[in-house]
Amino acid sequence: MIRVLVVDDSVVIRKMVSDVLASDPAIEVIGVAANGSIALDKIDKLKPDLITLDIEMPVMDGLETLKELRKLHPRLKVIMFSTLTERGARASLDALSLGANDYVTKPANVGSVAAAQQCLRDELIPKIKGFFHRGPALPAKAPVPAPAKQPVASPVVSPAASVRPGLRQRVDIVAIGISTGGPNALMEMVPTLPKNFPVPIVIVQHMPEMFTKLLADRLDQKSDIQVREAAAGDKLAPGLALIAPGGFHMTLVRKGAVVETALNQDAPENSCRPAVDVLFRSVSDLYGANVLAVIMTGMGQDGMLGCQKIKAAGGQVIAQDKESSVVWGMPGAVAGAGLSEELIPLNRLGSEITRRVQAARFGSK
């Protein structure tokens, strides 16, 4: 049983969240609090496994509470509760940098209490359970991945099998899929990439609208490479990282010698939009064997089928290791399917990406 403390100044929200969580047999709501000061007192008495923490509260708001909480309870799981506004997005990113484990946005404009409850049920409960799921166990020996059931489109570039032995397959694009724990992980990894990074980077980070733009801006300020939220028609370029905008799938299209981004609002995949699988399929179709796919911390298994296609086309796949992942769902699924060539800690991931990209171009080993 996962013991949860609900912290929110709104009586209506406290009841809604409590009722939704109590409806799941794996979760027990052990208490509520109307502000951060009360919450800190109750944490010592109730000893919850996780708290949901509203950002905007009187007396002691969510960010102030989080700062104090991390001094006293560094391992307690915290999910922030914020509004789907630019202010809420900024505060959520600040909270993640202060040690929050994840966030959810408050349901807005959904039409009814029942619809709002369903939104919470669909988003909050899986995140809570994800923190206490051990993740897939690695097989004793990684199996050869089974062929995809659907036919795989022929890649533009010859597969790795055609490359002469001893030569590293050239990388023409890096594709990254990431979710829970992603903003902090990207903040640590992306700034380690060199200014003269020789290929483009495309990223799917599971986040809602507004959040991806603010994340891209913060990464751009901190990094030597350029980072932007993608817009339709953006041209890929070396040293440019494009992040799929919240609410849109991102694909790539070739126009002569130029590759551009395309956005759509097709149905979610793996309950996500943007989805990693959508981007990875598109990247594989255009670049064939010359892809480096990177799967980082996150819940679920979005990206696994996309990695399967990239691997079948001769591309490279690496994943973040379990110890440095906030949740080892996405990378664990890829590793458990035998698709990852190597499991790499976060603090070495940037240098490993750079090494692999430079290997065939500059003769690195």
Measured distance CA(292)–CA(311) in Å, rounded: 10
Which one of 49, 92, 102, 179 is the catalytic residue? 179
Annotated catalytic residue 277: no
Crossing angle of helices 113-131/11-22, nearest 10°? Answer: 60
Distance CA 58, CA 240 (A): 42
Sheet holding 343-344, edge to edge: 226-229, 240-243, 201-205, 173-178, 291-295, 316-320, 343-344
**Pick the catalytic residue: 206, 223, 234, 340?**
206
Pairing of strands 2-7, 173-178: unpaired
Active site residue 73: no
Tokens of 208: 């809602």
Closest of 329, 277, 275, 271 to residue 303, by C-alpha:
277
What are the residue ranges of helices labelled H in the chain?
11-22, 36-46, 62-72, 86-97, 113-131, 182-189, 211-222, 276-287, 304-312, 330-336, 346-362
Q: Which of 54, 102, 302, 321 is catalytic?
A: 302
Type of residue numbered 20: V
**Active site (annotated) includes residue 302:** yes
CB 14 within 8 A of CB 42: no
Catalytic site positions: 179, 206, 302
